Structure 1
């Protein structure tokens, strides 16, 4: 009886990594988890029924053969995907840009962000909008009609 109790306690402990799914977004999170697993771990989802709620997700993982470490890794990756998705939903009026800056400029950007306790993105946003408004640092180019 003691072994059964210990086994159940261990099983319940290993299910704690899935507690993140239990909230008002449970169905959406489970759907995201299923699609992530289907794309990234197709062997796990092959011939399995898609899950739509936490109890089904727990049952799926109970029968998956995945180790506790693998389950934790999958949940971490799914959480990151969720976070990325939420960030993109909030950033409707924004677009990501990637560009290369010299290390010296990068260091100055970091210093400004730290001094003003704002993100690097906010520093760039403030500087660009300020320059647009005040025209202090970038020289005006002659108009093409003047050439």
Structure 2
């Protein structure tokens, strides 16, 4: 039987040891920068950077569960609720666990760059982007590993 590890715990362990990251974080003014920094048979770990104004679309993780933590800066996570999008600021050290059907948007709404570490199990193979119209999620596009990232 396969047991999913504590993905937020894994992300926090990696976030707490930047000297072990195989690459230094980079900030790209055109798009969010990301790099896979670890992978095992059970999970994979990604390092992401966010300049002010950078964000994801509403998306899922293609059936993967996950966890992420903010290393520096502040990110805002939006999830879909009955009354539309619900925003929650995530300062350094804050994190989130989520299951395989989780849909969210993450943004840097602040004035300082941000860094986060994300862990997924199983590894990401696809991500579905969504539009939210009149309270209904509609598929906008499906991105595939090896093609979109």
TM-score (norm 1): 0.23
TM-score (norm 2): 0.23
Of the two, which has the highest radius of gyration?
Answer: 1
Bigger proportion of residues as strand:
2
Name the structure, 1 or 2, with higher relative contact order (CA <8 Å, separation 6+). Answer: 2
